[in-house]
Amino acid sequence: MTLVEVVVSLAILGSVLISLAKFSMNMAHATSVSRIRTTASQLAADRVEAVKAAPRYAAIESLFVSSEASVAGFPGYSRTTMVTHVGGNPADTIDYRIVTVQVTNPQAAATVRKTTVIAPF
Protein backbone atom coordinates (compact mmCIF):
# COMPACT_ATOMS: atom_id res chain seq x y z
CA MET A 1 0.00 0.00 0.00
CA THR A 2 2.82 2.42 0.83
CA LEU A 3 4.46 1.78 -2.55
CA VAL A 4 1.21 2.68 -4.35
CA GLU A 5 0.96 5.91 -2.33
CA VAL A 6 4.54 6.83 -3.25
CA VAL A 7 3.90 6.17 -6.96
CA VAL A 8 0.70 8.26 -6.89
CA SER A 9 2.42 11.11 -5.06
CA LEU A 10 5.32 11.02 -7.56
CA ALA A 11 2.82 11.15 -10.44
CA ILE A 12 1.10 14.16 -8.89
CA LEU A 13 4.44 15.86 -8.22
CA GLY A 14 5.58 15.13 -11.77
CA SER A 15 2.44 16.63 -13.30
CA VAL A 16 2.78 19.73 -11.10
CA LEU A 17 6.43 20.16 -12.13
CA ILE A 18 5.58 19.72 -15.82
CA SER A 19 2.81 22.31 -15.50
CA LEU A 20 5.20 24.69 -13.76
CA ALA A 21 7.80 24.21 -16.51
CA LYS A 22 5.19 24.87 -19.21
CA PHE A 23 4.04 28.02 -17.37
CA SER A 24 7.66 29.22 -17.12
CA MET A 25 8.22 28.68 -20.85
CA ASN A 26 5.02 30.55 -21.74
CA MET A 27 5.97 33.40 -19.41
CA ALA A 28 9.46 33.66 -20.94
CA HIS A 29 7.97 33.74 -24.44
CA ALA A 30 5.42 36.40 -23.49
CA THR A 31 8.15 38.51 -21.90
CA SER A 32 10.30 38.27 -25.03
CA VAL A 33 7.43 39.22 -27.34
CA SER A 34 6.49 42.10 -25.05
CA ARG A 35 10.08 43.40 -25.02
CA ILE A 36 10.23 43.33 -28.83
CA ARG A 37 6.87 45.09 -29.16
CA THR A 38 7.81 47.73 -26.55
CA THR A 39 11.09 48.46 -28.34
CA ALA A 40 9.29 48.76 -31.69
CA SER A 41 6.72 51.10 -30.13
CA GLN A 42 9.47 53.27 -28.66
CA LEU A 43 11.30 53.45 -32.02
CA ALA A 44 8.08 54.56 -33.72
CA ALA A 45 7.34 57.14 -31.01
CA ASP A 46 10.90 58.51 -31.22
CA ARG A 47 10.52 59.08 -34.96
CA VAL A 48 7.10 60.72 -34.55
CA GLU A 49 8.54 63.08 -31.94
CA ALA A 50 11.48 63.89 -34.22
CA VAL A 51 9.05 64.80 -37.01
CA LYS A 52 7.03 66.97 -34.62
CA ALA A 53 10.22 68.79 -33.69
CA ALA A 54 11.08 69.55 -37.33
CA PRO A 55 12.34 73.11 -37.70
CA ARG A 56 10.31 73.78 -40.86
CA TYR A 57 6.86 72.48 -41.76
CA ALA A 58 7.59 72.60 -45.50
CA ALA A 59 10.66 70.36 -45.13
CA ILE A 60 9.01 67.45 -43.32
CA GLU A 61 8.80 65.25 -46.42
CA SER A 62 12.37 65.87 -47.52
CA LEU A 63 13.80 65.33 -44.04
CA PHE A 64 11.86 62.35 -42.76
CA VAL A 65 10.35 60.20 -45.53
CA SER A 66 12.59 57.15 -45.50
CA SER A 67 12.94 53.42 -45.04
CA GLU A 68 15.61 52.18 -42.68
CA ALA A 69 16.39 48.50 -43.26
CA SER A 70 18.23 48.41 -39.95
CA VAL A 71 17.70 50.94 -37.17
CA ALA A 72 21.03 52.01 -35.66
CA GLY A 73 21.60 50.30 -32.33
CA PHE A 74 18.61 47.99 -32.75
CA PRO A 75 19.51 45.03 -34.97
CA GLY A 76 16.55 43.28 -36.57
CA TYR A 77 14.25 46.31 -36.51
CA SER A 78 13.29 48.17 -39.67
CA ARG A 79 11.48 51.50 -39.73
CA THR A 80 9.53 53.24 -42.48
CA THR A 81 8.31 56.82 -42.28
CA MET A 82 5.54 57.95 -44.62
CA VAL A 83 4.10 61.46 -44.98
CA THR A 84 0.86 62.37 -46.75
CA HIS A 85 0.23 66.04 -47.48
CA VAL A 86 -3.44 67.01 -47.42
CA GLY A 87 -4.45 70.33 -48.96
CA GLY A 88 -1.90 73.11 -48.97
CA ASN A 89 -2.77 74.64 -52.33
CA PRO A 90 -3.67 78.34 -52.42
CA ALA A 91 -7.36 77.54 -53.02
CA ASP A 92 -7.52 74.95 -50.21
CA THR A 93 -8.90 75.76 -46.79
CA ILE A 94 -6.99 72.92 -45.17
CA ASP A 95 -3.31 72.13 -44.90
CA TYR A 96 -1.84 69.36 -42.80
CA ARG A 97 0.45 66.37 -43.03
CA ILE A 98 -0.31 62.86 -41.85
CA VAL A 99 2.86 61.16 -40.61
CA THR A 100 2.86 57.38 -40.20
CA VAL A 101 5.81 55.45 -38.78
CA GLN A 102 5.87 51.69 -39.16
CA VAL A 103 8.36 49.47 -37.30
CA THR A 104 8.80 45.78 -38.04
CA ASN A 105 10.81 42.95 -36.53
CA PRO A 106 10.92 39.39 -37.88
CA GLN A 107 10.25 38.00 -34.38
CA ALA A 108 7.20 40.21 -33.81
CA ALA A 109 3.77 38.89 -34.71
CA ALA A 110 2.52 42.28 -35.93
CA THR A 111 3.85 45.56 -37.24
CA VAL A 112 3.84 48.53 -34.87
CA ARG A 113 2.37 51.62 -36.49
CA LYS A 114 2.00 55.13 -35.06
CA THR A 115 0.29 57.99 -36.87
CA THR A 116 0.02 61.70 -36.09
CA VAL A 117 -1.30 64.77 -37.85
CA ILE A 118 0.82 67.91 -38.05
CA ALA A 119 -0.59 71.30 -38.97
CA PRO A 120 1.53 74.15 -40.34
CA PHE A 121 3.45 76.18 -37.81
Q: Where are the domains of the chain?
A: 2-118
Task: Read off the pLDDT of each residue in 4-28 and give the average, rounded to a whole number.
Answer: 97
Phi and psi based region of residue 68 (left: phi greater than 0; alpha: psi -120 to 50; beta: remaining): beta
The pTM score is 0.81
Q: What is the pLDDT of residues 52-105, one digit of tens each?
A: 999 899 899 999 999 999 998 999 999 999 999 999 888 889 999 999 999 999
Q: Given a cut of 80, is residue 121 above it in pLDDT?
A: no
